[in-house]
Amino acid sequence: MIAAKRVTLTFDNGPTPGVTEQVLDILSARKIHCTFFVLGKNLMSPGGRELAVRAQSEGHWIGNHSFTHSVPLGDRPDAEYARREIENTQELIGELAHPERFFRPMGGGGLLGPHLLSPAALDLLQAGKYTCVLWSSVPGDWKDQDGWIEKGIADVAARDWAVVVLHDVNNACLPRLTEFLDRLDSLQVEFRQDFPEDVVVTRRGEIVSPRISEIMA
C-alpha cells in the first residue's frame, strides 16, 4: 500500500476583503486548517484585521509575509528596511501570531534565491525567534487562473508532503479552490497544518536548514 500524500496549504498576500471570507468559508466547510501569511499593509486597511481575527479564531495560523510586499528583502540590504517589513507586520499581527512566529519571505514569483533574505533580515529573524517557512509548490494561481490547478495537483503527486502556496487576493485561486480541494480529496491526501522540515529555514530563530545559503544575498 502506498502511503497517503500529505499537503499543507498556505494562503499568502491577504487578508483581502471579499476574498478571504470566501476562502475561510470553503476551508471551514471541509474542516481544513491552513496558515495565512498576511501583509502588514493589509492588516491596516479596512476589514483586514477582522479577517485575520476570524481566520485565527477558526483554527488557522497567522504568519508574517512582510509589510509592503514590494522589494524583496535580499534586494535591499539595509537593516532598517528589514526591520520595517518584518517587525512592523509582526506588531500588527500581535496576539494573533502563532507561538512559532512564522515568517515567509517574498519575491521572485516563487523562485528560491538570494533575493529572499538579506543578512540583516536573517539577523532579525534569529533575534526575534522567528520560524522562517518556504514552500515546495507555487502553482501560480495569480497568473494562470485556469492552469494552476493542474500544476498544483502535479506538484502534490510528485512529493510525499507538499507545501502549496496559494493567494487570497483578487483574481487568484478562489474561483477554482473548491475544485482543487475536490481533486485533492479524490487523491485521498492527508491535509496537514504543520510544515515538513524541508521547507523550514529557521525554527524559533535557530537556523535548521543548509538551504539558508541558497536564499540569502
Residues that bind Zn ion (CB under 5 A): 12-13, 106
Shortest approach of Zn ion to residue 37 CB, angstroms?
A: 7
Shortest approach of Zn ion to residue 69 CB, angstroms?
A: 6
Compare residues 12 and 168 and give the one whose CB is closer to Zn ion. 12
Give Cα separations from 12 to 5, 120, 134 (angstroms): 22, 23, 12
Compare residues 28 and 113 and give the one whose CB is closer to Zn ion. 113
Give Cα separations from 102 to 44, 63, 130, 131 (angstroms): 19, 5, 6, 5
CB hemisphere CA count around 126 (13 angstroms) = 11
Q: At residue 210, what is the residue type?
A: P
Compare residues 153 and 166 and give the one whose CB is closer to Zn ion. 166
* Contact criterion met (CB below 8 Å) for 106 and 74: no
Shortest approach of Zn ion to residue 13 CB, angstroms?
A: 5
Reported residue count of the chain is 217
Give Cα separations from 213 to 66, 112, 129 (angstroms): 20, 11, 19
Shortest approach of Zn ion to residue 1 CB, angstroms?
A: 37
Compare residues 57 and 170 and give the one whose CB is closer to Zn ion. 170
Shortest approach of Zn ion to residue 65 CB, angstroms?
A: 6
Give Cα separations from 40 to 12, 56, 189 (angstroms): 12, 16, 32
Compare residues 106 and 189 and give the one whose CB is closer to Zn ion. 106
